[in-house]
Amino acid sequence: MNQEEYLQSLLSKPSTAVKKMESQAEEHRVPIMEPLGIDFLMQLLRIQQPKRILEIGTAIGYSALRMLEACPGSQIITVERDEQRYKDALKNIKDLNAEGQIHVIHGDALEVASTIEKEGPFDLLFIDAAKGKYEQFFHMYSPMVSDAGVIVSDNVLFKGFVADDSEANPRMAKIANKIRSFNEWLVQHPDYYTTIVPIGDGVAITKKKES
């Protein structure tokens, strides 16, 4: 048993509804957060207790519902551009009676900022969409995060290819290169502190510096 398998063995068993969504994601090849990554994010939310959360990349609603599970008093705005995933997310959210707290916006996150801005400011921004556009998402949405807020970016190690893409195919290597550039830009940003945690597929935690 390696370290990751050991840590996964310590995770509490997910509910039937969660397992159903995980199976749905696997069947339809929809990327969702890895078990250790989502567990880490949920613990971060329990500590931070954000009231308003913005998620870039709803997919089937898995992470939004898990964030709500960790922080039941929160309101979540989440954006998804793929029509089928948007519809699947609405169904999953409805099945868990969470429509009152999770609002899904259908559209490209780079095109609906004016709509989202009306819902802010946010206490937590979670970026988990098109990997090559992370820096654009950060530029666009970080101003909507409160001074005390936190920004979380998933997949910042991208299957290990960000550290070493020698065995990656050309497409994966290209994505890894974009994420590598984002990571380097982010950790050197003069206005933020960022720590990358090697859990799940890599999670970056970013906090605004005090002015």
Query: Would you give per-residue pLDDT tens digits along the chain (211 residues)?
Result: 899 889 989 998 889 999 999 999 999 999 999 999 999 999 999 999 999 999 999 999 999 999 999 999 999 999 999 999 999 999 999 999 999 999 999 999 999 999 999 999 999 999 999 999 999 999 999 999 999 999 999 999 999 999 999 888 999 999 999 999 999 999 999 999 999 999 999 999 999 998 7
Distance from C-alpha of 76 to C-alpha of 50, rounded to nearest angstrom: 10
User: Rounded to whole angstroms, how far apart are CA atoms 208 and 138?
Assistant: 12
Q: Is 1 annotated as a binding residue?
A: no
Asked if residue 144 lies in contact with residue 116, where contact means CB atoms within 8 angstroms, the answer is: yes
> Is 63 annotated as belonging to a binding site?
yes
Helices (H), the chain: 3-9, 16-27, 35-48, 62-70, 83-95, 113-117, 134-141, 170-187
Tell me whether residue 154 is annotated as binding: yes
Helix (H, G, I), strand (E, B) or coil at 144: helix
Instruction: Tell the CATH superfamily of the 3-208 domain.
Output: Vaccinia Virus protein VP39 (3.40.50.150)
108 assigned to a ligand binding site: yes
For the chain, the structural domain boundaries read 3-208
Spatial CB neighbours of 138, under 8 Å, sequence gap ≥ 6: 127, 151, 153, 182, 186
